């Protein structure tokens, strides 16, 4: 019986088997303290389900080949190539490895992983577990949000590799495409066919053959992997519930799918290059237009400045104190040459005498006002 992911199990030690799930079963149990795991979710899932040693240690080539064939139903040639190629790239001279050995940088593990961050500076081993934000970004490339197709994987790989100044080397680029080709061919199980209605047994052999011929064909595999199934496998490193391999995966199919991903990537890269060239041309054209407009504006400003200078030169400035032209002066009018301005101070008699004081001024002012006479009832005047 598998241990649910949401349920915490008591801490226990793993060796080749798990004391919780029992011997000889392939139920899921999460890794325990001291277990060895790799950056590869496929091998980690095999260890978590008991196809490989539960502790991820002392993995021999024979054990790895058997686990790949039993857990994922890979063909013998494909399992052999993956096993022997992996041991060769790791440079292991021993007869066994630990899963953590696969984290050694630039052997099998490589930069530009879709769900793992790159190895830190001066570190020899890469991170083992996927980064949640990178996993979300990768799954977001699914065009319909439901299935991850080869075209979606190609877009994700192009976007990931575009952030690097130098392209990946040919070997690790092929590894990156091949591992995703295997994933796409493993989990694209056909949808379950509806249960046929019960039919009476055939009356004859001919009727049985006819019924077999008229039977509906088996449903085709999905064009991609369900996104949630992929999330479960990559994040929790366990086989999805109810999943089982529906066909034997051959080396030829993997190579064909890897080539399809490579072709889609090259088409996308050519398109990105064309868009980049078009963007540069548009920017150059825009810069040329702006430069020409600035030059035209400068020319217009220069012409306006020259016109203003010409207009200022044509203005006649009258000198202060200059005589007007003789044609504008009447014959009998005196000129400034024979006319003089006489300034004199008026004498005292020309000014009215000032009143002596305020009382006399008030009396004088009242005398000039015609005040009506008002008679009250008793005959007194006001």
**Are the C-beta atoms of residues 150 and 184 closer than 8 Å to each other?**
yes
Residue 320: pLDDT band with limits 50, 70, 90: very low
The angle subtended at Cα 61 by Cα 52 and Cα 63, nearest 5°, is: 30
Residue 359: pLDDT band with limits 50, 70, 90: low
Average pLDDT across the chain, whole number: 82
Residue 101's CB is within 10 A of a number of other CB atoms, namely 22
pLDDT for the residue numbered 376? 46
The angle subtended at Cα 182 by Cα 168 and Cα 23, nearest 5°, is: 120
pLDDT for the residue numbered 54? 94
End-to-end CA distance of the chain: 131
The segment with the largest mean pLDDT, out of 16-20, 38-42, 119-123, is 38-42
Asked if pLDDT for residue 309 goes beyond 60, the answer is: yes
Asked if pLDDT for residue 197 goes beyond 70, the answer is: no
Average pLDDT, stretch 73-82? 96
Average pLDDT, stretch 216-232? 89
Average pLDDT, stretch 122-138? 93
Q: How many CA atoms lie within 13 A of 377 on its CB side?
A: 0
Residue 382: pLDDT band with limits 50, 70, 90: very low
Residue 292 has phi, psi (to 5 degrees) of -65, -40
**Are the C-beta atoms of residues 90 and 107 closer than 8 Å to each other?**
yes
Asked if pLDDT for residue 1 goes beyond 50, the answer is: no
Short-list 38, 273, 268, CA closest to 157: 268
pLDDT for the residue numbered 341? 46
Residue 92: pLDDT band with limits 50, 70, 90: confident
pLDDT for the residue numbered 295? 87
Q: At what angle do helices 150-161 and 170-186 cross, to 10 degrees?
A: 150
Residue 191: pLDDT band with limits 50, 70, 90: confident
pTM: 0.70
Widest distance between CA atoms in the chain: 161
pLDDT tens per residue, range 238-265: 999 999 999 999 999 999 999 999 999 9
Q: Where are the domains of the chain?
A: 12-109, 130-191+220-283
Cβ neighbors of 79 (< 8 A, separation 6 or more) are: 65, 68, 69
Distance from CA of residue 235 to its chain's centroid? 22
Q: Give the helix, strand, coil percentages of the chain, each rounded to 5.
A: 45, 5, 50
DSSP 155: H
Between these two residues, 79 and 121, which has the higher pLDDT value?
79
Alpha helices, DSSP H, located in the chain: 41-48, 61-72, 76-90, 132-139, 150-161, 170-186, 205-214, 227-231, 251-314, 358-367
pLDDT for the residue numbered 380? 46
H/E run at residue 225: strand 225-226
Average pLDDT, stretch 214-220? 70
Average pLDDT, stretch 273-289? 87
pLDDT tens per residue, range 140-151: 999 999 999 999
Cβ neighbors of 82 (< 8 A, separation 6 or more) are: 68, 74
Percent of the chain with pLDDT over 90: 52
Phi-psi region of 321 (alpha: psi -120 to 50; beta: other; left: phi over 0): left
- Reported residue count of the chain is 382
CA distance 176 to 170: 10
Asked if pLDDT for residue 178 goes beyond 70, the answer is: yes
Asked if pLDDT for residue 333 goes beyond 60, the answer is: no
| Cα→Cα distances 252→77, 152, 265, 272, Å | 10, 21, 20, 30
pLDDT for the residue numbered 379? 47
């Amino acid at each position: 019986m598998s241990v649910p992911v949401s349920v915490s199990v008591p801490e226990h030690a793993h060796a080749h088997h798990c004391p919780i799930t029992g011997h000889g079963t392939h139920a899921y149990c999460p890794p325990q303290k001291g277990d060895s795991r790799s950056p590869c979710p496929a091998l980690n899932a095999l260890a978590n389900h008991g196809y490989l040693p539960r502790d991820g240690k002392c993995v021999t080539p024979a054990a790895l080949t058997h686990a790949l064939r039993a857990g994922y139903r890979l063909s013998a040639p494909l399992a052999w190539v993956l096993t022997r190629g992996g041991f060769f790239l790791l440079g292991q001279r021993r007869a066994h490895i630990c899963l953590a050995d696969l984290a050694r940088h630039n052997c099998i593990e490589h930069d530009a992983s879709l769900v793992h961050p790159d190895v830190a500076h001066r570190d020899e081993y890469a991170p083992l577990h996927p980064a949640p934000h990178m996993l979300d970004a990768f799954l977001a490339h699914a065009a319909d949000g439901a299935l991850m197709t080869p075209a979606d994987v190609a877009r994700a790989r192009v976007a990931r590799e575009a952030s690097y100044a130098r392209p990946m080397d040919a070997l690790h680029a092929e590894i990156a495409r091949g591992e995703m080709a295997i994933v796409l061919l493993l989990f694209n199980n056909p949808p379950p066919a509806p249960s046929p209605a019960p039919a009476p047994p055939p009356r004859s052999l001919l009727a049985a053959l006819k019924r077999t011929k008229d039977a509906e064909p088996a449903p085709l595999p999905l064009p991609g992997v369900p996104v949630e199934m992929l999330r479960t496998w990559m994040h929790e490193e366990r086989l999805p519930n109810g999943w089982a391999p529906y066909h034997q995966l051959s080396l030829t199919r993997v190579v064909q799918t890897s080539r399809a991903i490579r072709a889609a990537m090259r088409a996308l890269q050519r398109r990105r290059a064309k868009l980049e060239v078009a963007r540069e041309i548009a920017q150059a054209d825009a810069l040329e237009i702006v430069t020409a407009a600035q030059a035209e504006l400068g020319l217009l400003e220069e012409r306006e400045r020259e016109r203003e200078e010409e207009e200022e030169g044509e203005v006649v400035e009258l000198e202060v104190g200059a005589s007007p032209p003789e044609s504008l002066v009447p014959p009998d009018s005196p000129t400034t040459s024979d006319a003089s301005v006489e300034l004199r101070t008026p004498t005292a008699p020309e000014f009215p005498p000032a009143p002596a004081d305020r009382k006399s001024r008030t009396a004088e002012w009242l005398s000039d006002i015609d005040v009506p006479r008002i008679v009250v009832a008793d005959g007194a005047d006001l």
